[in-house]
A and B are shown apart, each in its own frame.
Chain A
Amino acid sequence: MRRGAAFLPRPGYASVSRWLLAAALAGLLVADLQVTTLHPWSDLSRLLGGLTRPDLLAVDGRSVVYTVAFAVLGVGLGAGTGLLLAMPFARSRAVRLACAAVRAVHELFWALLLMQVFGLSATTGVLAIALPYAGICAKVYAELIEEADLAAVRVLPAGTGTVSAFLYARLPEVAGRMRDYTLYRLECGLRSSLVLGFIGLPTMGFAFESAFRQGRYAEAGALLLIFYALIGTRRLWVRARTLLVLLVGAALALPPTVGSAAIGPSLARFLGHDIVPAPLRGAPLAEPETWARLWSWLRPILTEQILPGTAQTLVLAQIALAATALGALVLFPLTARRFAGPLGRPLGRALLVVVRSTPEYMLAYVGLQLLGPSMLPAILALALHNAGIVAYLMGRHADAIPYRADAPRGLDLYAYETVPRLYGQFLAYLLYRWELILRESAIFGILGVTTLGFYVDAAISELRLDVATLLIAATALVTVAVDAVSRALRRSLRIDALPTRLSGPQPITGAEAP
Chain B
Amino acid sequence: MLGSGRLGRLALGCVAALAASAPAEAQDRAVPPLVFTGIPDQDESRLVERFGRVAAYLEAKLGVPVRYIPVKSYPAAVTAFTNGQVQLAWFGGFTGVQARKAVPGSQAIAQGAEDAAFKTYIIANAATGLKRGADFPKDIQDRTFTFGARASTSGRLMPEYFIRQAFPGKSPEQVFARVGFSGDHTRTIQLVQSGAFAVGAVDYSVWDLDTKAGKVDPTAVTVIWESPTFPDYQWTVRGDVEQTYGAGFTEKLRTALTGVTDPAILEPFGRSKFVPVSNAAYEPLVAVGRSTGLLD
State whether the Cβ of B263 lies closer than 8 Å to any Cβ in chain A: no
Cβ contact of B24, chosen from A83, A167, A256, cutoff 8 A: A256
State whether the Cβ of B25 lies closer than 8 Å to any Cβ in chain A: yes
State whether the Cβ of B90 lies closer than 8 Å to any Cβ in chain A: no
State how many angstroms separate the Cβ of A92 from the closest Cβ of chain B: 20
Which residues 126-175 in A have Cβ within 8 Å of B in the complex? 126, 167, 171-172, 174-175
Which of under 10, 10 to 19, 20 to 34, or 35 or more describes the interface residues of B?
35 or more
State whether the Cβ of A458 lies closer than 8 Å to any Cβ in chain B: yes
In the complex, what residue of chain A is closest to B295 when comparing beta carbons? Answer: A462
State whether the Cβ of B138 lies closer than 8 Å to any Cβ in chain A: no
In the complex, what residue of chain A is closest to B87 when comparing beta carbons? Answer: A259
A261 CA / B80 CA spacing, docked (Å): 8
Q: Are B84 and A463 in contact (CB under 8 A)?
A: no
State whether the Cβ of B69 lies closer than 8 Å to any Cβ in chain A: yes
Q: Are A176 and B3 in contact (CB under 8 A)?
A: yes
From known contacts A39-B194, A171-B7, A176-B3, infer whether A257 and B24 are also in contact, taking CB-CB under 8 Å: yes
From known contacts A76-B17, A247-B16, infer whether A260 and B25 are also in contact, taking CB-CB under 8 Å: yes
Q: Are A247 and B83 in contact (CB under 8 A)?
A: no
State whether the Cβ of A52 lies closer than 8 Å to any Cβ in chain B: no
Q: Are B194 and A463 in contact (CB under 8 A)?
A: no
In the complex, what residue of chain B is closest to A457 when comparing beta carbons? Answer: B150
For A83, list chain B residues within 8 Å (CB): 7, 11
Q: Are A258 and B85 in contact (CB under 8 A)?
A: yes
Cβ contact of A240, chosen from B2, B43, B197, B294, cutoff 8 A: B2
State whether the Cβ of A266 lies closer than 8 Å to any Cβ in chain B: yes
For A461, list chain B residues within 8 Å (CB): 73-75, 149-151
Q: Are B21 and A463 in contact (CB under 8 A)?
A: no
For A167, list chain B residues within 8 Å (CB): 4
In the complex, what residue of chain A is closest to B29 when comparing beta carbons? Answer: A260
State the majority secondary structure of interface residues on A: helix
Kindly name the residue among A172, A257, A278 whose own CB sees the greatest number of chain B CB atoms within 10 A. Answer: A257
From known contacts A199-B73, A372-B196, infer whether A254 and B98 are also in contact, taking CB-CB under 8 Å: no
Kindly name the residue among B33, B180, B196, B197 whose own CB sees the greatest number of chain A CB atoms within 10 A. Answer: B196
From known contacts A214-B45, A259-B67, infer whether A80 and B85 are also in contact, taking CB-CB under 8 Å: no
In the complex, what residue of chain B is closest to A177 when comparing beta carbons? Answer: B3
Q: Are B3 and A179 in contact (CB under 8 A)?
A: yes
Complex interface bits, A189-210 against B, C-beta within 8 A gives 1, otherwise 0: 0000000001110000010011
State whether the Cβ of A54 lies closer than 8 Å to any Cβ in chain B: no
Which residues 30-48 in B have Cβ within 8 Å of A in the complex? 32-33, 35, 43-45
For A240, list chain B residues within 8 Å (CB): 2, 6
State how many angstroms separate the Cβ of B236 from the closest Cβ of chain A: 14
State whether the Cβ of A296 lies closer than 8 Å to any Cβ in chain B: no
For B295, list chain A residues within 8 Å (CB): 462
Q: Are B7 and A172 in contact (CB under 8 A)?
A: no
Of A113-121, A322-330, A473-481, the segment with at least 4 beta carbons within 8 Å of chain B is A113-121
Q: Are B194 and A38 in contact (CB under 8 A)?
A: yes
In the assembled complex, 23 residue pairs joining A and B whose CB atoms fall closer than 8 Å, in A order, are A34-B178, A77-B17, A119-B85, A123-B21, A171-B4, A171-B7, A172-B4, A174-B3, A175-B2, A200-B70, A243-B9, A244-B13, A247-B16, A248-B16, A251-B21, A254-B21, A260-B25, A260-B84, A266-B84, A457-B150, A458-B150, A461-B149, A463-B78
Q: A182-B10, A448-B180, A462-B150 are in contact. List 4 more A-B contacts (CB 8 A).
A: A77-B18, A199-B73, A258-B69, A461-B75
| Closest 10 pairs between A and B when the two form their complex, measured CB to CB | A175-B3, A247-B13, A259-B35, A251-B17, A119-B85, A461-B150, A262-B84, A200-B72, A251-B20, A80-B11
